[in-house]
Chains A and B, each alone.
Chain A
């Protein structure tokens, strides 16, 4: 029973990271039809911005305080990169999907190469607050504290995004745009401004995922964003591209399946199980690839 509880919480924690990585990806695809392969670069930027901030701040500050500042810096960096990428690279290529894929893949490769050139290809350890390294005993299970933090952050982001989508004008335009952005434009609404805001939100969420994933892994490395991006794509496809609720549900399922398979089958089977789950969903529900409502 304690094993199951531990696996459940660690799986949910992993799912929380996947949700943070995938939510921006899902909104960007749903509204703009852009498959953003540079999303991994956004995550990497967030983790490096966090690492640089934490190492640059005075050591007299507690690790927790430096991490809090690093999260804010990562959010700002992610949002700014999102805006620049949307305005400079994506906007001239709307409705040119092949070129979008080429540009975002190119940007992703270039960003990783740049990070390797500047900071090296090796992983750099990142400090972790003492509380996050510890565990909390519930029943007979010792549950890692950092997973609780990931869950709380992901839940806050999910509720925040849902509130934004359902109780604000921006959210109304996003939901309408996910259905039919040409018609939004034909009603006299500047959908391009909404695109930029969504890219900024996606960049910030990705950067948040990046810095939290570096806490999960205990280090930052140029390849981290890419590996997280693969799972983010799987989550978005399973959840229905453009559906935030679907993305949240799929994140939880993927995180749990991965943890349970790794434990009960063999280490490494978790990744295989997730890919098989993706294949199963596409076979049974091919409409997943076509998108859904936000």
Chain B
């Protein structure tokens, strides 16, 4: 059974991959596409090669037949959709959050938001907006995974828990088995952050408090530019250590300054990213260097991209109530929910990484089976997992590659995709009035 897995797959070649190799993993922003997946007689999936621990767990979750619920009472899909449409139709200040879905799921959620006049935000947007707010102020100088894999000869990485936030980063990108312009196995660099976990070969761990990341990066920029920072320690780091990092960046042919966005100071992550960017630009005066933001789940970057191309604005915007209105502070969904400023919430969680918010706000939840629920929402509609149950696309976290998702399993009770459910919901809302009557055939 090949299903839509191999639609048009036959073009050009004799040695195509068998159907269950080169599978794209949708469960974090690394978006590895080299997984091998085995499937047993019941349709149960298992990662048989190349996945991380998270992929092994999430691919193996059973595709449960699941019911829709209204306040904990099992109902058919139509009844759940009617209840959801009624709840949303009455809302004055609706919002759509989570947005952990494939391109089509996000796109349909945004269309629904536009119809409702709703605020849109992603579950993981705090980390996303560290980078985005810095980008809006200064821009960026970056490189993608493929360029770094082949070229980077020095890594300066800020953060902790690389295995959790960027699994397989070291195996695939930092110390790849093969590289074009460097010795892949001999990567060297520095890990800057709290804690003292294991340190990969060729790397040196420098303990620092990342609340001071902006000062540390600024001191490195000064040292690169030939200036001397004041004092003998910055952010818990000795100036001599910083001087070694700066010298390494200057000597590198292609250095990388990377950071785990989730490890940065929640209140000032954007300031840190601005400082990292300034460091990268400073290094490029004489050699090559690039920034590399890391981390993210639930297609956060992809959701932001779709919003940007369809509406011209990023997430944390209000759509449909006039022109798209973006405000990274005012339309942060967590703050709106905490302030009781939302009267109906749609939560989209077809992928991992979008835990339900702890709120009493009436909620329509579209969730993958197995999503933990802190309470019974007003309406719960289970949806299929993109890349396991249906095809689609997803963006990788470094911002250039979008990858294809394919259907890997079919079960007797196949759940609808998020896009299907959201379209049905849109269809139940009253059509918007046409602004002006059309007189296109005045001369007939």
Q: Is A bound to B?
A: no
- What residues of chain A have their CB less than 8 Å away from a CB belonging to chain B? none
